[in-house]
Amino acid sequence: MKKNRYLLLPVVLLLVGLLAAGCGGAKDTSNTAGGDTIKIGFLGGKTGGHAHYGIETLKGMQMAVEDVNSAGGVNGKKLEIIEGDHGSNSSEAANVTQKLITQKVSAIVGDPTTGITKVAAQICQPSKVVLLSAGAVGPGIVEIGDYIYRDTLLDAVAAPAVTKYLTEELKWKKVALVTTTGLSYSEGLTNIFKPALAKYEIEIVAEQSIMEKDTNFSAQVTALSKKEFDGVVFTGYYTEGALFMNEMRKQGLKQVMVGGDGLLGKELYQLGEKAVAGSMLYAGFAVDTKNAAGKTREFIEKYQSRNNGAMPDMFPAQGYDAVLILAEAMKAAQSSDPTVFKDKLAQTKDFKGVTGTITFDAKREPIKSPVYLMEVKDSPEYPVKAVIPITG
């Protein structure tokens, strides 16, 4: 994966140079005869290994656009989604980002993953097009520039809160740590979990590395079988997570795993079934049937009506909020020109979304609470195990 990342660098640098030289974002056309819609780009994978993230984010965006347009649109114009499918491929993501910009989008919502978001951000920033990720939780995103945002719960906030829960509520004392090497999301999450585990005096008794798209984890699990530990901290994605747990059960290990929203997807259960039962994952949104109310309940019910009764996860919810946040900033600025409305976007405070209340801090990072810890049981709809508030 690292080799692929280095090969991609010249492509990204070339695109950045071309775009910086003369390719700009959409200009506001609200006072002209043309430009009947405001274009919002969707950047995600509708195919490939991370299709769940992209497909679900797009569903939420579509719901938001319908709601905004039915309420009169933005500054007298309707919103329109311009779709881009990168097939869960970093190299293609650069091409899709460039194409969206040439189609004069005012903003791009995406990507739901950290690594591809970084690729897109390095293109959007010099092109002066707002990029708002509805899923990237790893470090090094908004630092790329003042056109780059996200509306998701940060790993830097969530992982320590979940670690505290593991020690105080579940009494974990020892863990095995599994990292997907070369995957920006996984490596970043591992680097957040390590100091959190140390802070709460949970010992890492073994570390194992895997690669994305690996399917055989017998050697790694055999190494773990020689250690004593309470659970596995798995920082990668759902496909490898499910297959890793299948191998653990095959070798007779009974521990469960815990990880971030990279594990969130129906595929975790479909691939793992009984092997992943009891495993836990956290996110900035989950369907809390006991407490959901108002806008959140309306969103859940509308999603269910459109998806044969299925429950939404964080991806459609954050995609929905992303579009509404952008619409509010454009309204406040009276402009769909990203060079104008980005300043209003940065001033977002106490936005009441379906995922909770969102405020961008001085670094344009989202401040969100609480953390939803979900547990895998007997279906791909994971019930809430704990709602963990963020304090301090």
Cα separation, 206 vs 62, in Å, equals 44
Cα separation, 159 vs 190, in Å, equals 10
Q: Which two tokens stand for residue 203?
A: 């010992």
Query: Distance from CA of residue 265 to its chain's centroid?
Result: 12
**In whole angstroms, how far apart are CA 298 and each of 287, 292, 294, 305, 314?**
12, 9, 6, 11, 15
DSSP assignments along 218-269, one per residue: HHHHHHHTTS--SEEEE-S-HHHHHHHHHHHHHTT---EEEE-GGG-SHHHH
Q: How many domains does the chain have?
A: 2
Q: Which two tokens stand for residue 30?
A: 């609200």
Do strands 280-283 and 371-375 pair parallel, antiparallel, or not at all (unpaired)?
antiparallel
291 within domain boundaries: no
Shared domain for 279 and 221, answered yes or no, is yes
Q: Which two tokens stand for residue 275?
A: 């092997």
Q: Which residue has the tokens 């060079």?
A: 339
Shared domain for 184 and 302, answered yes or no, is no
What range defines the domain where residue 344 resides? 2-153+298-360
CATH of the domain at 70: 3.40.50.2300
Do strands 37-44 and 148-150 pair parallel, antiparallel, or not at all (unpaired)?
unpaired
Shared domain for 20 and 134, answered yes or no, is yes
In a 13 Å sphere around the CA of 98, the CA atoms on its Cβ side amount to 18
Kind and range of the H or E run holding 298: helix 294-306
19 within domain boundaries: yes
DSSP assignments along 20-85, one per residue: HHH---PPP-TTSSS--EEEEEEEE-SSSTTHHHHHHHHHHHHHHHHHHHHTT-BTTBEEEEEEEE
164 within domain boundaries: yes
Cα separation, 45 vs 48, in Å, equals 7
289 within domain boundaries: no
Q: Which two tokens stand for residue 62?
A: 């579509």
Residue pair 234/217 in contact (Cβ under 8 Å)? The answer is no
292 within domain boundaries: no
Q: How many residues does the chain have?
A: 392
Shared domain for 130 and 182, answered yes or no, is no
Shared domain for 236 and 378, answered yes or no, is yes
Q: Nearest to residue 61, comparing CAs of 74, 75, 44?
A: 44
290 within domain boundaries: no
What pLDDT sits at residue 8? Answer: 44
Question: At residue 328, what are phi and psi to the nearest 5 degrees?
Answer: -65, -40
Cα separation, 326 vs 152, in Å, equals 14
Shared domain for 171 and 272, answered yes or no, is yes
Shared domain for 141 and 67, answered yes or no, is yes
Mention every residue, 6+ apart, whose C-beta is less than 8 A from residue 322: 60, 61, 64, 109, 132, 133, 134, 151
From the CB of residue 350, how many other CB atoms can be counted at a distance below 10 Å? 8
Shared domain for 27 and 84, answered yes or no, is yes
293 within domain boundaries: no
Shared domain for 162 and 148, answered yes or no, is no
Report mean pLDDT in 10-residue bins for the chain, 392 residues. Answer: 40 45 44 68 93 95 98 97 93 96 97 93 98 92 97 93 97 98 93 98 98 96 98 97 98 98 93 97 89 91 95 94 98 98 96 92 90 94 91 65
pTM of the model: 0.78
Residue pair 178/244 in contact (Cβ under 8 Å)? The answer is yes
Shared domain for 147 and 250, answered yes or no, is no
Shared domain for 39 and 144, answered yes or no, is yes
Kind and range of the H or E run holding 372: strand 371-375
Shared domain for 382 and 268, answered yes or no, is yes
288 within domain boundaries: no
